[in-house]
Amino acid sequence: MAGTNPYMKESAPDPPKKAYNIRFMPMDEIIQVNPDNLSESVAGHPGSILQTALNAGISIDHACGGVCACSTCHIIVREGAESIPEITDSEDNMLDKAPGLQLDSRLACQAVPDGSCDLVVEIPFWNRNLVSEGHE
């Protein structure tokens, strides 16, 4: 289960209510999200873009464990931002520390789409963990 940040005042957004797709760029991988099949969150809010990516095997750095205490899970929502609740003060404060900040930047651990439309999400090159260690 994901941890919690004791300094956050805002509550977690509701998980998605409808099925939708997320296209992760630049790998051009589409993930279908079914709200009936959401697993327990390993990082980020339940139903967050970070949780969805990690459960699908798409690596997004998240140094704080997905509790809005860093900016390493910075993503850019290219399409479908209207399905994500408005940014909170806590997320906005963390995003200020992110490199390459853009108007459509969000933290993947905090962004929980409601399922009202499909999304296109860009993972900036500095947030992609390209190392896969297959220790046996």
Residue 5 lies in a domain: no
Residue at 85 is within a domain: yes
Evaluate whether 54 touches 40 at the Cβ level (below 8 Å): no
Tell me what the mean pLDDT of segment 12-19 comes to: 84
For β-strands 29-33 and 74-79, DSSP reports them as unpaired
What is the structure's pLDDT at 35?
A: 87
**In terms of residue numbers, what domain contains 43?**
20-127
* 81 alpha-carbon distance from chain centroid: 12
Mean pLDDT, rounded, for 58-69: 91
pTM, full prediction = 0.84
3-state DSSP of 6-56: CCCCCCCCCCCCCCEEEEEECCCEEEEECHHHCCCCCCCCCCCHHHHHHHC
Q: Answer whether residue 82 is part of any domain.
A: yes
Which residue is associated with the tokens 């990082």? 43
Residue 8 lies in a domain: no
pLDDT of residue 92: 95
pLDDT, residue 3, reads 55
Cα separations in angstroms, 71 against 3, 12, 39, 60, 122? 16, 18, 24, 11, 15
Q: Is residue 71 part of a domain?
A: yes
| Number of structural domains found in the chain | 1
Q: Is residue 7 part of a domain?
A: no
Residue bearing tokens 């409808």: 18
Between the CA of residue 124 and those of 104, 128, 132, what are the distances in Å? 12, 7, 18
In a domain, 133, yes or no: no
CATH code at position 47: 3.10.20.30
| Residue 71 pLDDT exceeds 80 | yes
- Which amino acid is located at 90 in the chain? S
Identify the pLDDT of residue 128. 59
Q: Is 3 part of a structural domain of the chain? A: no
pLDDT surpassing 80 at residue 26: yes
Which pLDDT value is given to residue 91?
95
